[in-house]
Amino acid sequence: MRRAFCIGEVIIPNRVVLAPMAGLSTSAYRRHMKAHGVGMVTTEMVSAYGLMFGNVRTGEYLDFADDERPVAVQLFGDSPEVMGRAAEGVVSRPCIPDLLDVNMGCPVRKVMKTGAGAALLGDADKAVAVAAAVVAAAGQAGVPVTVKLRSGLRPGDRIAVDLAPRLQEVGVQAVGIHPRAASEYYRGTADHDITAALVRALDVPVLASGDISGVESALAVFEATGAAALMVARGVAGNPWLVGALLSGRSAARPPLSEVVADLRLLLARVVDERGPERAARWMRKLLGWYLRPSGVAATKIEHLRSLPDARLLDAALAELAAETA
């Protein structure tokens, strides 16, 4: 897992990469996970239409720091023309990402009802046209393009196995696969036989996502499928130490609560720098349970921490929590 690999000409320093997660994969979080050792990070999915219409908040999703590299920007949309123009805009900015990723895997209704995300799996010709448009635009700046897929729309679908070779033909240089149907969201078990089928069908790297939550099971997926890398997402939210365990190939006990809280406070400081104290406190709420519940912190204590309106109050309460267990 510590070996480097390449996507196009971009060198990824190891085989553990951070999947994009809506509402979570901000620059502060990406930098935090970089510090924990991930080889590559990806932005939250960015609306191609939002970029086309100059939406300020959408444009902010494109910002990243140099210490995040290699970094990918993920775009979503249903129109080859709009996706191509959005990609042109991204690679013409002063600070160009290392890669562009096309979202063909998001199962969320509000995305799919626009024809974007996993909905593209229902129209293979349009999906290929979207990828080709982004490849053409990104190629002007020498930026490789990747695509994130689900296995299909419904359980039993193997649309990705047929679609991925066509994406490779139009210039896509890596494919990420979460082998669940869009209708399953995160229920059931990821079918990594589909991941292995993609590895056999493609000459470009395949990145495996889905159920990457423990060292032994994750390494079993890596070895059985022949995937080039593992994409971690929910499995590291609240457990960033899984990254180091995957890289070492050895399971490790969860750190003591004092270390868990120290990591939370470090992340909080990064988020404050990015968003200010009030917005940071609100943003951290989703992570408090993921971090603290596995360490045995009572639900009432976690709810109290979530209620705090300011990062200064939250940081002080976290410091007090750590002191109580010292």
- State yes or no: cis peptide before 294, omega within 30 of 0: no
Same domain assignment for residues 124 and 141: yes
Same domain assignment for residues 237 and 261: no
Same domain assignment for residues 291 and 220: no
Q: What's the pLDDT tens digit per position in 262-295?
A: 999 999 999 999 999 999 999 999 999 999 999 9
Tally of domains in the chain: 2
E-only strand ranges, 3-62: 5-7, 10-12, 16-18, 41-47
Same domain assignment for residues 172 and 319: no
Same domain assignment for residues 213 and 261: no
Same domain assignment for residues 195 and 277: no
Q: What's the pLDDT tens digit per position in 25-55?
A: 999 999 999 999 999 999 999 999 999 888 8
Per-residue pLDDT of the chain (326 residues; tens, 9 = 90+): 999 999 999 999 999 999 999 889 999 999 999 999 999 999 999 999 999 888 867 888 899 999 999 999 999 999 999 999 999 999 999 999 999 999 999 999 999 999 999 999 999 999 999 999 999 999 999 999 999 999 999 999 999 999 999 999 999 999 999 999 999 999 989 999 999 999 999 999 999 999 988 999 999 999 999 999 999 998 999 999 999 999 999 998 999 999 999 999 999 999 999 999 999 999 999 999 999 999 999 999 999 999 999 999 999 999 999 998 76
Same domain assignment for residues 150 and 180: yes
Residue 266: both structure tokens together: 């470090």
Of 259, 277, 279, nearest in space to 326 by CA: 259
Same domain assignment for residues 22 and 62: yes
Same domain assignment for residues 114 and 239: yes
Domain boundary among 180, 213, 248: 248
Cβ(103)–Cβ(48) below 8 Å: no
Same domain assignment for residues 13 and 162: yes
Same domain assignment for residues 243 and 275: no
Q: Which domain holds residue 280?
A: 257-324
Task: Supply the residues annotated as catalytic.
Answer: 106
pTM above 0.85, yes or no: yes
Same domain assignment for residues 120 and 237: yes
CATH number of the domain encompassing residue 136:
3.20.20.70
Domain boundary among 198, 223, 248: 248
Domain boundary among 229, 248, 267: 248
